[in-house]
Structure 1
Amino acid sequence: MSKRQQEIRGCASIRQLMGTALIGCLCASSPAWSEASSNDTLDGETSAHAPTLALQAASSVPEDAPSLRLPPGAGMTRLASLQAPRMLHLTAHDEVLIGSRAGKLYRGQLADDGSLKRMEVLVELKGYPHSAVVRDARLYVATTDALLVADYHPGISLAPSDFQRVIAIPGGGGHNSRTLSLGPDNGLYLALGIQGNCSDQYLAGTSPRYPQQQRRGGVMRLEESGEPPEWRAWASGLRNPVGLVWQALATGETRLLATNNGPDHWGYEHPRELVVAAREGSFHGMPWYQWIDGRWQADDCITSDSPRERDEIAPPLAEIPARSAPMGIAVVPPGHPLAADMDVVVAVHGSWGTAPSGKAWGDPASRREPRLLGLKLATPDTEAHLVPVLTGLQDAASGERWIRPLDVAFGKDGSLYLTSDTGASGLYRITFSQ
Structure 2
Amino acid sequence: MATRLVTGAAAACLALSLPAHAETDAASSLSLVSAQQVPSDAPALKLPEGATLERLASLDSPRMLHLTDAGELLIGSRAERVYRAQLTPDGSLSAVKTLVELSGYPHSLVVRGDKLYVATTAALLVADYSPGEALTRDDFRELIALPGGGGHNSRTLSLGPDGGLYLALGIQGNCSNQYLAGSDQGYSFSERRGGVLRLEESGDAPHWQPWASGLRNPVGLAWQPGREGEPRLLATNNGPDHWGYEQPRELVVAAREGSFHGMPWYQWVDGRWQADDCITSDSPRERDEIAPPLAEPPARSAPMGIAVVPPEHPLAADMDVVVAVHGSWGTAPSGNAAGDPASRREPRLLGLKLATPDTEARLVPVLTGLQDSSSGQRWIRPLDVLFGPDGSLYFTSDSGAAGLYRLTFD
Alignment of 1:10-159 (within 5 A): 12-13=13-14, 32-36=31-35, 41-42=37-38, 55-56=39-40, 61=41, 65-159=42-136
CA contact (8 A) 1:353 1:367 kept: yes
Q: Give 1:119 shift.
A: 1.2
Taking a change above 3 Å as real, the CA distance of residues 90 and 329 of structure 1, as seen in their structure-2 partners, is same
What is the distance in 2 between the residues matched to 1:283 and 1:207? Answer: 16
**Given residue 410 of structure 1, which amino acid in structure 2 is its aligned partner?**
F
Listed one character per residue, the Cα deviations across residues 46-90 of structure 1 (whole Å, up to 9, x for unaligned) are xxxxxxxxx34xxxx4xxx53111111111101111000000001
Q: For residue 284 of structure 1, what is the aligned residue in structure 2?
A: 261
Provide the rounded CA distance (Å) in 1 between the counterparts of 2:378 and 2:219. 21
SS at match of 1:98: strand
1:275/1:345 CA distance change after superposition, 3 Å? same
**Structure 1 residues 212-361: aligned runs within 5 Å:** 212-361=189-338
Q: Deviating runs (4+, > 6 A) in structure 1?
A: none
State the Cα distance separating 1:207 from its structure 2 match.
5.4
Contact 1:349-1:370 within 8 A present in 2 as well:
yes
The amino acid of 2:48's aligned partner reads: P
Equivalence for 2:159: 182
Q: Distance in 2 between matches of 1:193 and 1:206?
A: 17
Per the TM alignment, residue 208 of structure 1 is displaced from its structure 2 partner at its CA by 6.4
CA shift for structure 1 position 15 = 5.7
Residue 236 of structure 2 aligns with an amino acid whose one-letter code is T
Q: Report deviation, 1:118.
A: 1.9
Structure 2 residue 392 is matched with structure 1 residue 391: no
Shift of the 32–330 alpha-carbon distance from structure 1 to 2, 3 Å rule, reads closer
Cα deviation, residue 227, structure 1: 2.0
Give the Å deviation of 1:41: 4.9
CA deviations over 1:105-148 (Å, ceiling 9, x no partner): 00011111011122110000010000000001100000000000
What is the TM-score of this pair, normalised by structure 1?
Answer: 0.88
1:251–1:245 distance in 2 versus 1, CA, 3 Å? same
Identity of aligned residues (%): 75
Q: Which residues in structure 2 correspond to 1:365-380 (within 5 Å)?
A: 365-380=342-357
Q: Which deviations, in whole Å up to 9, do the C-alpha atoms of 1:284-335 show, x marking residues without a partner?
A: 0000000001000000000000000000000000000000000000000011
Q: Structure 2 CA distance, aligned partners of 1:290 and 1:235?
A: 16
Q: Which amino acid aligns with 1:220?
A: L
Q: What is the aligned partner in structure 2 of residue 45 from structure 1?
A: none
Question: Which of 394, 412, 415 does residue 392 from structure 2 map onto?
Answer: 415
2:239, 2:104 → 1: CA distance? 25
Q: Is the 8 A contact 1:10 1:387 kept in 2?
A: no
SS of the residue corresponding to residue 149 of structure 2 reads coil
- Conserved 8 A contact 2:115-2:127: yes
The DSSP-based 3-state class of the residue aligned with 1:311 is: helix
Name the SS of the counterpart of 1:206 in structure 2.
helix
Q: Residue 10 of structure 1 contacts residue 386 of structure 1 at CA under 8 Å; is this kept in 2? A: no
CA contact (8 A) 1:260 1:274 kept: yes
Q: Using a 3 Å threshold, how does the CA distance of structure 1 residues 11 and 170 change in structure 2: closer, same or farther?
A: farther
Partner of 2:146: 169
In the TM superposition, residue 209 of structure 1 has moved relative to its aligned partner by: 2.3
Give secondary structure in 2 for the equivalent of 1:291: strand
What's the TM-score once normalised by structure 2's chain length? 0.93
